[in-house]
Chain A
Amino acid sequence: MHNRLKVRTTEAQKAAADREKEKKLQLYRNTINDVFERRSRNEYDVLALKSSEGLLRSNPDIVTIWNYRKEILLHLKPSEEIINDELYLTEKCLQVNPKSYSAWYHRNWLLDNVDPSPDWNKELQLCTKYLKIDERNFHCWDYRQIVASKCQEPNENELKFTMEMIESNFSNYSAWHYRSKLFSAAGKDEESTKISELSLVESAAFTDPSDQSAWIYQRWLIGKLEPSKFIYKVSRIKNKIYLILNRKLPNNYKIIGLGETNWEQFDSKIWYKKLDNIDSSKIQIIDEVNQVIDNLSIDNVQQNIFNLNISEQLRLVLNGQLDSLHQLLDMEPESKWALLTYVLLLYTLKPNNYFKNCLKNIKLLKELDSKRKNYYHDLESRYQIEHWIANNNNNNMDSVNLKGYGLTAFYHMHMFLFNKNIDLSDNDLSHTNLNHLKNLIMCEQLSLKNCKLENLDNFPALNNLEVLDLRENKIQEISYKELTKCKSLKKIILDKKQIALDKILECINQSTNIEIL
C-alpha cells in the first residue's frame, strides 16, 4: 500500500467499515467468479467484455482479467467502436492508478495487435496531456518513447517538448533524462550540443540551486570528457611485456606493436604478451578504422595520463561556468550542489592552485553534506592518488610513497604493478579495500602501518611480497592466516601492542619471521 494514511477509528466506525468491506468483498467475489466462469465456457463476446469492466475500473492491476479481454478482442475482430471503448477503459483505469503497468501495457498491446489503423499521433497528444498533469510519471514517459518512434516523431520535436516541460519546471529529471537519450540517438555534433546543453543547464541550476535534477545532468556533461591518453606505462618483467592502461579499452580498439604474439588481458586495464622478436619499440592503440589513438615506447611512462581532451571552445565555456559558480558560492556559500560542481570543474580544468582548492572545498562538502561524507572521502582519495601519479615519473625502481594521505579508497592501484617498494602507511583503510592490492604483483616491501585495519580478509596472494609492515593496527590474530597465500613472505613487522604473538605464529607460515619494533 502506498500513501495510505493510517487513521484512528472508533469501534462504531470500525464496525461500519467492516460491513462496507464485507459488501465490497462479496461484490468482488461474485464478479470475478462470473468472469472466470465465462472464460471457462469460452465466451468471447461483447457481453463478456462488459462483465469485467467494473472489476478493472476498481482494480486495474488484475492482469488475468486483461488477458481474458485480450483473448476476446483477438476473437471478435472488433469494430472501431469496441476498440474505442477499450481505449477509453484503459484511460479510466489509468485515472484510478496512473502507475498501473497492466493498464499501460493493455493500451499499447491493443494498438499494436487489434487496432487496424492505430492513431499514434493521438497517442502522442494523450501522453502530452498526461505528462502535463503528472510530469514525472515514468510509465507515461516510457510509453511516450514507444509512441514517438511509432509515429516517427522527429527528435527535434521531442527535444522541443522536453524543453517546454523543463521551462515550466526545471526540476523535471524525467525530461532531462529524455534529452540525454535524444542526443545520443541523434548522434548530434557532440561539441555544439554539449555547449548549448551546458548553458541551458546552467540557467536551470542557478534558478534553483537546491534542485538536483539539473546538477546531475551537468555532472554527466562534464564527466563525458575523456582523457586523451590510454597508455600509462609499458614495461618488461622477465620474459613478458606488460601494458598498463588508465581505462578499459573499447571493444573495437586494438593494441599493435612489439612483435607478432597476441596481447592477452590480465585484468581490465592490464595487458601482457610474451617477449618475442621486437619489430619496433612502440606500442600503438588503434581504433576500428586503424587510426592511431595513442602510442608509447617501451619502458616509458605517460605522466599526464589523467589530462582531459577539451577543445579551446569548450574550455572557454567551462571557464565561464567556473566563474559563475564562484559568484553563486559567494552569495550562497552553503549550496552543496554548487560547491560539488565547482570542485568537479576545478578538477576538470586544472587552473593554477586547483588541487589545494579542490581539497579545501571537499573538506567543506564533508561538513555540509555529512550524510555522504564517506563518498567525499573516497573522491578525495581518488584525487590524491591521481595527483601523485601525475607528479611522479614512477620508474619501476622508485618507491611509491602514499603515506599519510588519509586515503579511504584505492584507485588506480594497477598503475603500481611494477613497483617493488610501496608505502601506504598512515591511511584510513578497511579490510574491504585490501583486494585492490592484487595487482601489486612485483611488490616486495609493503607498509600498511597505522591503517586502521581490523582484519586481513581479502588480502591478495602477492607472490613477490617479502616484508609486510602491519604495525599500529588492531588486527584479529586469526586473520593472519590470509598471509599464508603470500609464498615469499619472509618478515612481518609488528609492534609490542599486538600481544597475542603465539596466536599469530600459529596462523602464519613457518618460514615467515615476526619482527617486533
Chain B
Amino acid sequence: MLQKDVKLDNTTKTWVLKKHIDFLQSFGKERHQYESSMMEFLRMSGMYWGLTALYLINDGKIPKEDEIFEYIKSCEHSCGGYSPAPGHDPHLLYTLSAVQIACLLNRELELPTEKIVSYVSKLQQDDGSFTGDKWGEIDTRYSFCALACLSLLGKHNEINLVKAVDFIKSCQNFDGGFGSRPGAESHGGLIYCCVGSLSIAGRLDLVDADTLGWWLAERQLPSGGLNGRPEKLPDVCYSWWVFSTLNILGRDHWIDKEELKTFILASQDNEGGGFSDRPGDEPDPFHTLFGLAALSLMSYDNILPIDPTYCMPKAVINRLGLKPQTLSRP
C-alpha cells in the first residue's frame, strides 16, 4: 500500500511574515466579503482564529479593538450564550470564541460573567458531558469549550468538574486517545479537546502519556507533516492539535520538529500570505492560526509564545493567572 502523504518540492519556502500580517488584516475588508458572508455561521470563531494569529506575529497588537468588541456584544443573547453572527443562534463553540476574543482585548470583565456561567453550566448533562446548545448534541469538543470558557472567566468550579472529567475518561480508547463520545474513534482534534480539558482540570494523571504520546508521534509522515488519524493525509491544523497535545504531555521531542517546521512553512502562501491545509491549497485564517501557533511552540522566528492548552497567547493566559497543567518529560 502506498502511504498517504504529500511530496514537498525541494525549494525551501521563505518565511513571509509581512504578507501573513497583510493576509490576516485583510479579513473584514471588502476583498473577503464573499467568504465572510458565506462563512458567517462560524464568524465568531473565524475572528478568534484571525485575531489570535495576528496577535502572535504583530507584537500583540490588534486593530479596531472597539469595533471588534461591539461585534461580540451584537452576538450576545439573553440566555448568556453567543452566536457566530447576529441573527444566528447561540452555541457553546461561539461562546468560547467570544470569551477568547474578549480576553485578547483585555476586556473580559465587561462581559456578563454570571449569565455566561449560567448558560454553560445548564448545558452540562447528568453524565458530566456537555451539549453544544439546547438541541442536545453531545461531543467532547463541547467539554473543552465549557472548561476553557469558564476557566478563562475564573469560574470553572461552577460546573461539576468531577463528572466532566469522568465523562472525558469514558471516551478514552485502546490507543490511549480520545473520541467525540464514549466508543468513538480517536482523532487528533478530539484528543486535543480531551487532553486540554484534563489539563485545565489538573487531571492529566488520567492520561496514559506514553501510549498516547507514541500514537501521536506516529502521526508524523515522511513529509514532516502530521495527520489526525492513521493512514490519513497530513494537514497543518494537526500541527497544532497533535503537536500541542504532545507538548502538554511532555513528549513533543518524540517527533522531528525541524521536519514539521519545513512542512508548515511549505504550506504558506508566498504570494498573498496565510497558510493552507497543505502545500498548494488556498490559505485561510483557520490554518493560518494553527500553523503559526505550532511554529510558536517551536519558538520560530519572533512569533510570540502561545499556551498549548488554550491556544491563546501565553501573555494573556499569564495575565489571567491561569496555570494549566502540563506533564514533564519522562
Q: Which residues of A contact B (CB under 8 A)?
A: 1-6, 21-22, 24-25, 28-29, 36, 59, 61-64, 67, 70, 101, 105, 109, 136, 138, 141-142, 145, 171, 173-174, 177-178, 180-181, 184, 208, 210-213, 216-217, 220, 223, 268, 370-372, 374-375, 378, 381-382, 409-411, 430, 432-433, 435-436, 458
Nearest residue, chain A, Cβ from B255: A371
Q: Range of interface residues on chain B?
A: 35 or more
Q: Is the interface of B mostly helix, strand, loop or mixed?
A: loop
A372 to B257, CA, bound (A): 10
Partner of B137, one of A105, A173, A374: A105
| Chain A hits for B38, CB < 8 A | 24-25, 28, 59
A220 to B251 Cα, complex, angstroms: 20
Q: Are B88 and A64 in contact (CB under 8 A)?
A: yes
Contact of A177 among B3, B186, B282 (CB under 8 A): B186
Task: Sample 9 A-B pairs with CB under 8 A, ordered by A number.
Answer: A25-B37, A61-B42, A62-B41, A63-B41, A63-B88, A63-B89, A174-B185, A375-B254, A409-B330
Chain B residues, CB < 8 A from A24: 34, 38
Q: Contact between B259 and A371 (Cβ–Cβ < 8 Å)? A: yes
A193 CB to nearest B CB, Å: 13
Q: A1-B284, A63-B89 are in contact. Are A212 and B230 (CB under 8 A)?
A: yes
Asked whether any CB of chain A lies closer than 8 Å to the CB of B250, the reply is yes
Residue B253 CB within 8 A of the other chain: yes
Contact (Cβ within 8 A) B280 A181: no
Complex CA gap A184/B175 in Å reads: 13
Q: Which residues of B contact A142 (CB under 8 A)?
A: 179-181, 183-185
Contacts of B69 in A (CB 8 A): none
Query: Which of B211, B229, B254, B328 interacts with A136 by CB under 8 Å?
Result: B229
Is A2 a contact of B235 with CB atoms below 8 Å?
yes
Starting from the known contacts A136-B232, A371-B217, 10 additional A-B residue pairs (CB-CB under 8 Å) come to A1-B276, A1-B281, A4-B276, A64-B88, A142-B181, A171-B1, A181-B173, A372-B220, A374-B254, A410-B330
Q: How far is the CB of B297 from chain A (nearest CB, A)?
A: 14
- What 0/1 pattern do residues 232 to 260 of B give for CB contact below 8 A with A? 10010000000000000011011110010
Chain B residue with the shortest CB-CB distance to A66: B135
- Chain B residues with CB under 8 A of A145: 183-184
- The CA-CA distance from A3 to B139 in the complex, in Å, is 25
A205 CB to closest chain B CB, in angstroms? 12
Residues of B within 8 A of A410 (CB): 330
In angstroms, how far is the closest chain A Cβ from the Cβ of B3?
Answer: 7
A340 to chain B, nearest CB (A): 10
With an 8 A cutoff between CB atoms, is B329 at the interface?
yes
Identify which of A29, A173, A178, A435 gathers the most chain B CB atoms within 10 Å of its CB: A173
Q: Which 4 A-B pairs have the closest CB atoms?
A: A180-B174, A409-B330, A371-B256, A375-B254
Q: Is B185's CB under 8 angstroms from A2's CB?
A: no
Is A268's CB under 8 angstroms from B181's CB?
Answer: no
B259 touches A220 (CB 8 A): no
* A28-B37 CB under 8 A given contacts A2-B277, A142-B179, A177-B173: yes
| Set A70, A171, A381: member contacting B231, Cβ < 8 A | A171
Task: State whether B211 touches A223 (Cβ < 8 A).
Answer: yes
Pick from B88, B231, B254, B259: contact of A378, CB below 8 A.
B254
Closest B residue, CB atoms, query A208: B1
Q: A109 contacts which chain B residues (CB < 8 A)? A: 135-137
How far does the Cβ of A270 sit from chain B's closest Cβ, in whole Å? 14
Q: Give CA–CA (A180, B186) in the complex, Å.
A: 12
B254 touches A372 (CB 8 A): yes
Binding site for A on B (CB under 8 A): 1, 3, 33-34, 37-38, 41-42, 83, 87-89, 91, 133, 135-137, 139, 173-175, 179-181, 183-187, 205, 211, 213-215, 217-218, 220, 224, 229-232, 235, 250-251, 253-256, 259, 269, 276-277, 280-284, 286-287, 328-330
Task: Indicate if the CB atoms of A432 and B328 lie closer than 8 Å.
Answer: yes
Of A25, A64, A372, which one neighbours B217 at CB under 8 angstroms?
A372
Alpha-carbon separation in the docked complex, A141 to B281 (Å): 28
Q: Is the CB of B37 within 8 A of A173?
A: no
Q: Tell me the complex Cα distance, A207–B328, Å.
A: 39
| Bound CA–CA A216/B211 (angstroms) | 10
One of B83, B136, B205, B217 near A268 (C-beta < 8 A): B205
User: Given A1-B281, A213-B230: A6 and B269 within 8 A (CB)?
Assistant: yes
Complex contacts, A216 vs chain B, CB 8 Å: 175, 215, 218, 230
Q: How far is the CB of A198 from chain B (nearest CB, A)?
A: 14
CB atoms of B135 and A210 under 8 A apart: no
Most chain A CB within 10 A, of B220, B276, B328, is at B328
CB <8 Å contact, A173 and B281: no
A375 CB → nearest B CB, Å: 4
By a CB distance below 8 angstroms, the chain A residues around B1 are 171, 208, 210-211
In the complex, A333→B35 CA distance in Å? 51
Q: How many Å lie between the Cα of A62 and that of B218 in the bound state? A: 35
Given known A-B contacts A223-B211, A378-B254, A433-B328, A181 and B183 have beta carbons under 8 A apart: yes
What distance in Å separates the Cβ of A379 from its nearest Cβ neighbour in chain B?
9
Find out whether the CB atom of B276 lies under 8 angstroms from the CB atom of A70. no
On chain A, the residues within 8 Å of B253 by CB distance are: 374
Measured CB to CB, the closest approach of chain B to A4, in angstroms, equals 5
Residues of chain B contacted by A4 (CB below 8 angstroms)? 276, 281-282
Complex: chain A residue closest to B137, CB-CB: A105
